[in-house]
């Protein structure tokens, strides 16, 4: 839609983003009779799955779970073709949802929100875009994504490269043909680990520039087994309910009652083998103390290290690929298809850029402190300004006061990851301080949108014009988020969970590690108590 096709006046909610968060927000709020408009920087829906079209991109939470639960008809009728759907299928699903629930007319595409200003006198947000739109609304909902602001390290000479540069998070829609090319991939996080095997199949020569070896688990992806799908669908409502009260928002994850050190070495080895044979990210949940007890973690880490040593033929390459600097699961666990096996190919070379850092991009390729690697194309799989990036990319102010970026200069502060004190009537979907990226994101997105929708209904019923998080409740929540994180091994790793991937970003553990189910109960409790910790003004 164009800005002029819907009157700017009288809007209830402006939404940023048309990924799974924004799409559900439009649907849910409209169901309550609210007037909404969404702005999306891309020219289509799907968010992550619109932008990340790199070869190998797919979800690593099983598709039967990585999908909306809000419509039983939708979940019964939609058919996933693989256990872990690939990007194009997930994008098709997002488009299907947009059509099925008639959401497109609420979205203005190819439009980036650049600022949002709240005026206390009118209790209205005024939102401005890069296309010159100015609209006002009572509420501002940021569903701009936790992993949507790609990060390109600022290597000297980047613009001098005479070949092609790509980032996994802004992949060309028409695809890329790497046949006969010498390709370099920088980064071995989840994106790198997915793209590397696929590029290796095509390119003449692939050079992987690895700074930190990561733990990756096998997906054992298959076409969707018909009986499995039928079983899942027969029990869908119960499976979804289980997910809603689980730790990671995933029904299929194990719910262990034992720690890794409470069982014999023999039993533990068998359990790890069975978990490995099952594959997927639930592996790190096999014992309850893997993410909190160093020794327990080490038993699992060593099991996976041995698997890497078995898979990779060249012992020197295997050693480089074996993670030793962080506990397994404390950087986002990766799930792969043929990742380690790829290094047995003759056309794949691994370069250790911890030992020999990248000095510059040159017209011909990448120069490390050791040598220059000549390349025809470079793929940056270098990640995102995660969790806070998309929020702080918007200049957000109240009554001309300090920007949210200024308020968060030493790290984000929120109450429940939903609102931030001093910025009334603004909600964040999967914001910092909520479980978000530690969970099946669609479970977390649905929980947030439903909480916000209930809240908006309540405010309407009570005639409340202004809602704001109270600073003391915010402080207490931030403290709680940190205290819970400190009972785990997570904060010890240099990961994007702590902002460590962005030079100068404050080091704060960004998501809430207390578990999705626990968090859901806390949010429900706050609402039940008449939105405890929020100031409500008529």
Residues that bind ligand NAP (CB under 6 A): 59-60, 147, 153, 168, 186-192, 194, 209, 211-212, 332, 335, 353, 358, 381-384, 437, 496, 501
393 touches ligand FAD by CB under 6 A: yes
Cα distance between residue 127 and residue 276, in whole Å: 49
Q: Which does 381 bind (CB under 5 to 8 A by kind): ligand NAP, ligand FAD, none?
A: ligand NAP
- Binders of ligand FAD: how many residues, by CB under 6 A? 36
How distant is the alpha carbon of residue 90 from its chain centre? 15
Q: Is residue 445 at the binding interface for ligand FAD, with CB under 6 A as the rule?
A: yes
The listed partner (ligand FAD, ligand NAP, none) that binds 382, CB under 5 to 8 Å by sort, is ligand NAP
Secondary structure (H, E, C), 394-432: CEEEECCCCCHHHHCCCCCCCECCCECCCCCCEEECCCC
Q: From residue 68, give the alpha-carbon distance in Å to each of 76, 90, 127, 202, 379.
A: 11, 11, 29, 34, 32
User: Would you count residue 336 as binding ligand FAD (CB under 6 A)?
Assistant: no
- 233 interacts with, out of ligand NAP, ligand FAD, none, CB within 5 to 8 A per kind: none
Closer CB to ligand FAD, 239 or 367, in the complex: 239
Q: Are strands 107-108 and 36-39 parallel, antiparallel or unpaired?
A: parallel
Nearer to ligand NAP, 155 or 423 (CB): 155
From the list ligand NAP, ligand FAD, none, which binds 219 (C-beta under 5 to 8 Å, kind-based)? none
CA distance 192 to 214: 10
DSSP H or E stretch at residue 476: helix 471-486
Nearer to ligand NAP, 509 or 531 (CB): 509
Using the minimum distance from each CB to ligand FAD, give the nearer residue, 382 or 430: 430
State in angstroms the smallest separation of the CB of 399 from ligand FAD: 21
Partner interacting with residue 171 (select from ligand NAP, ligand FAD, none; CB below 5-8 Å by kind): none
Q: Which of 15, 29, 52, 508 binds ligand FAD (CB under 6 A)?
A: 52
Q: Which residue has the tokens 């819907």?
A: 6
Nearer to ligand NAP, 262 or 338 (CB): 338
**What does the alpha-carbon distance between residue 370 and residue 58 come to, in Å, rounded to a whole number?**
35
Contact partners, residue 338, CB within 8 Å, separation at least 6: 197
Dist. CA 100–CA 96, nearest whole Å: 6
Q: How far is residue 82's CA from residue 94's CA, in Å, rounded to a whole number?
A: 16
For residue 238 the two structure tokens come to 């119960």
Q: Are 434 and 444 in contact (CB under 8 A)?
A: yes
- List interacting residues with ligand FAD (CB under 6 A): 16-17, 19-22, 39-42, 47-48, 50, 52, 57, 59-61, 66, 112-113, 143-148, 191, 390, 393-394, 429-430, 440-441, 445
């Amino acid at each position: 839609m164009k800005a002029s096709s819907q009157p700017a006046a009288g809007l209830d909610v402006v939404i940023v983003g048309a990924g799974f968060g924004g799409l559900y927000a439009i649907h849910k709020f409209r169901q309550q009779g609210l007037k909404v408009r969404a702005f999306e920087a891309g020219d289509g829906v799907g968010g992550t799955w619109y932008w990340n079209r790199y070869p190998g991109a797919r979800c690593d939470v099983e598709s039967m779970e990585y999908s909306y639960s809000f419509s039983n008809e939708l979940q019964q009728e939609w058919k996933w073709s693989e256990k872990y759907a690939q990007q194009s299928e997930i994008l098709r699903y997002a488009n299907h949802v947009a059509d099925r629930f008639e959401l497109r007319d609420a979205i203005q595409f190819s439009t980036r929100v650049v600022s949002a200003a709240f005026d206390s006198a009118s209790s209205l947000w005024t939102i401005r875009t890069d296309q010159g739109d100015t609209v006002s609304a009572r509420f501002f909902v940021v569903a701009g994504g936790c992993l949507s602001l790609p990060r390109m390290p600022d290597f000297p000479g980047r613009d001098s490269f005479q070949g092609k540069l790509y980032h996994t998070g802004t992949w060309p829609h028409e695809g890329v043909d790497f046949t006969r090319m010498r390709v370099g991939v920088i980064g071995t996080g989840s994106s790198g680990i997915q793209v590397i095997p696929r590029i290796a199949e095509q390119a003449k020569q692939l050079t992987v520039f690895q700074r930190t070896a990561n733990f990756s688990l096998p997906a054992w992806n298959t076409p969707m087994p018909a009986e499995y799908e039928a079983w899942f669908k027969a029990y869908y409502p119960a499976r979804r309910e289980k997910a809603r009260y689980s730790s990671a928002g995933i029904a299929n994850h194990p719910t262990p009652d034992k720690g890794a050190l409470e069982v014999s070495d023999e039993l533990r080895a068998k359990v790890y083998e069975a978990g490995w044979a099952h594959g997927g990210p639930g592996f790190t949940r096999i014992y309850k103390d893997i993410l909190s007890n160093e020794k327990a973690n080490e038993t699992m880490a060593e099991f996976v290290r041995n698997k890497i040593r078995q898979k990779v033929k060249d012992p020197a390459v295997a050693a480089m690929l074996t993670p030793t600097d962080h506990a397994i699961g404390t950087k986002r666990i990766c799930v792969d298809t043929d990742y380690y096996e790829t290094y047995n190919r003759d056309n794949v070379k691994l370069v250790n850029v911890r030992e020999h850092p990248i000095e510059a991009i040159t017209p011909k390729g990448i120069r490390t402190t050791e040598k220059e690697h000549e390349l025809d194309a470079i793929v940056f799989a270098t990640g995102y300004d995660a969790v806070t990036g998309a929020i702080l990319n918007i200049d957000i102010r109240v009554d001309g006061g300090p920007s949210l970026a200024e308020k968060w200069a030493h790290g984000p502060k929120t109450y429940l990851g939903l609102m931030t004190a001093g910025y009334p009537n603004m909600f964040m979907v999967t914001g910092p301080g909520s479980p978000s990226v530690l969970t099946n994101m669609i479970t977390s997105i649905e929980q947030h949108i439903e909480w916000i929708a209930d809240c908006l209904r309540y405010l309407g019923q009570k005639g409340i014009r202004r809602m704001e998080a109270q600073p003391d409740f915010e402080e207490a929540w931030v403290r709680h988020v940190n205290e819970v994180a400190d009972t785990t091994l997570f904060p010890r790793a240099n990961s994007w969970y702590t902002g460590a991937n962005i030079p100068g970003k404050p080091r704060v553990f960004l998501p809430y590690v207390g578990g999705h189910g626990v968090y859901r109960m806390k949010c429900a409790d706050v609402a039940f108590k008449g939105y405890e910790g929020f100031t409500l003004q008529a």
